[in-house]
Structure 1
Amino acid sequence: MTLDDLNEMDPEALRDAVSASPEQLVAVLRVAAGAGDAEAQLLLAQAALDGKGMAADPREALEWFHKAAQAGSTMAMNMIGRCCEHGRGVAVDKAAAAQWYRAAADRGLDWGMYNLASLTALGNGVPEDRAGALALFRKAAAMGHAKSINIIGNFHEDGWVVERDMAIAADHYLRSAEGGDFRGMFNHARMLLARGDRADAVRWLDRIPETATAAFMAKARQWLRDNRPDISCELTKAAR
């Protein structure tokens, strides 16, 4: 497929081309990315990182993320940070990750704020600064970032640089859960169980397996086994 082929397609033919298969979508993205389209470069990079529609190739992914970042894509900047933080296509370098997250955050990306705050809270690649991290989480939360809202709940539950306040924590966990964050759902369910609202807690626990990582699922099941062995939900059934 060439750029001329794409340019000659009518909208219906283009829709058919990108929806035919992941491999066909990658073929289309390669043409558009090679022509300098930043969004196509970002999507192709993610496909290469995930191995969706092509063999996984973190190095190629990083190359396309860099091209998209050079074109001004803030999500690409954030994803370069992710690659540096986790060693995808490059050696682990958390200081470099923080620099890329800051570049994305400074340009208004909520995910950049969240990822930079996560490093800052623990002093990974940057000096530890929980107050500064909380400020970044709050900025992302104001944009509706559900994971940041959950973390603010953690700050208030544990009394990190703020007074411990379970009511504020519970409110943030509810908002995070409603925003779709699986950690927020679990924390909200914990608060409901503490109040004796078993039915509503189970309703939220049942939603966690839809989006949670395997690692989080294991931790959540262990918490339920240790603290609430009486609870039966989709989360615990999945382990049987």
Structure 2
Amino acid sequence: MLDTLTAEEIAARLAGPPAARAAFLRAAAEEGHAEAQAVYAQMLLDGVGVAADPAAAFGWFRRAAAQHHLMALNMVGRCYELGWGVAVDMGRAATCFRLAAERGLAEGMYNYATRLTLGEGVVQDRAAALAWFDRAADMGYAKAINYVGSFAEDGWAGPRDMARAADCYARAAAGGDFRGAFNHARMLHAAGDAKAARDWFARAAAEGTPAFRAKMIDWLRAADGGELRTLADALDR
């Protein structure tokens, strides 16, 4: 079916309502198209256009991964990591992330580096983790850039380097990472640039997850008794 359609016809089908898009992608997935399998799996995972079915999503991610679809391979790892449609297995998660990383996927590099940092599913190795974060950062992956900044700030795999930390946080924030925005704001506040710090704190709150937003507000309240507490109260409304 998919092979008989023009690029314009495929784009039109994908631009349709979610349920129609899901039906189209399922048909293409059943024909064996790896990209369709991966996208349909994500729709099943998120419950977009179809009823949420993590177990079915996991199955489709595995089928796409078997065809060397790197993002699907990374998502198989995420399923093992978070128990989406399968029992949690951090060892298998780490293996999936490592394979995706070795094949050049920035998300796989980031996820494998995170497992190495925490020692989940693998032996903890922060030097190796930093090397993988650096590789993903070199590809412009904002979440990895932020993590490189954390390594530099905290000295996890070498001497502390606050200048490098500040630079990484600024680049991660500019790249759209909400944790990077928070860390960039912290650095700006410490440097005395209160206005810019407020702007980045607000952006981090707007773009972060609800759990992150709540933790950030708690941090602002605990940081001092003045302007940051006032900002926390404003963000908590």
TM-score (norm 2): 0.93
Match of 2:127 in 1: 131
Q: What's the offset of the Cα at 1:19? A: 2.2
Q: What's the offset of the Cα at 1:36? A: 1.2
Tell me which amino acid in the other structure corresponds to 2:156: W
Secondary structure of the corresponding residue to residue 104 of structure 1: helix
Q: Which among 106, 118, 143 is matched to residue 139 of structure 2?
A: 143
In structure 1, distance between residues paired with 2:192 and 2:209: 27
Tell me which amino acid in the other structure corresponds to 2:158: V
Tell me which amino acid in the other structure corresponds to 1:185: A
Q: Which among 216, 225, 230 is matched to residue 227 of structure 2?
A: 230
Match of 1:105 in 2: 101
Q: What's the offset of the Cα at 1:236? A: 5.1
Q: What's the offset of the Cα at 1:146? A: 0.6
In structure 1, distance between residues paired with 2:10 and 2:71: 25
C-alpha RMSD of the superposition: 1.7
Q: Which among 160, 166, 174 is matched to residue 170 of structure 1?
A: 166
In structure 1, distance between residues paired with 2:219 and 2:138: 30
Match of 2:156 in 1: 160
In structure 1, distance between residues paired with 2:121 and 2:7: 46
Q: What's the offset of the Cα at 1:173? A: 0.3
Verify: 1:44 aligned to 2:50, yes or no: no
Pair 34,222 (structure 1): closer, same or farther in 2 beyond 3 Å = same
Match of 1:199 in 2: 195
Give ranges in structure 2 of 5+ residues lacking alignment: none
Superimposed CA distance per residue, residues 154-213 of structure 1 (whole angstroms, 9 cap, x where no aligned partner): 111111121112111101100111111000000000000001101111221222244311
Verify: 1:239 aligned to 2:236, yes or no: yes
In structure 2, distance between residues paired with 1:14 and 1:113: 31
Pair 200,8 (structure 1): closer, same or farther in 2 beyond 3 Å = same
In structure 1, distance between residues paired with 2:161 and 2:4: 61
In structure 1, distance between residues paired with 2:215 and 2:149: 19
Q: What's the offset of the Cα at 1:9? A: 5.8
Counterparts in 2 of 1:29-40, with a 5 A limit? Answer: 29-40=25-36
Q: Which among 61, 69, 72 is matched to residue 65 of structure 2?
A: 69
In structure 1, distance between residues paired with 2:87 and 2:43: 20
Q: Is the 8 A contact 2:217 2:235 kept in 1?
A: no
Pair 214,67 (structure 1): closer, same or farther in 2 beyond 3 Å = same
In structure 1, distance between residues paired with 2:40 and 2:167: 38
In structure 2, distance between residues paired with 1:129 and 1:57: 35
In structure 2, distance between residues paired with 1:139 and 1:11: 34
In structure 2, distance between residues paired with 1:145 and 1:27: 32
Pair 119,9 (structure 1): closer, same or farther in 2 beyond 3 Å = closer
Secondary structure of the corresponding residue to residue 51 of structure 2: coil
Match of 1:213 in 2: 209
TM-score (norm 1): 0.92
Q: Which among 18, 24, 27 is matched to residue 20 of structure 2?
A: 24
Match of 2:118 in 1: 122
Q: What's the offset of the Cα at 1:15? A: 3.9
Q: Is the 8 A contact 2:80 2:93 kept in 1?
A: yes
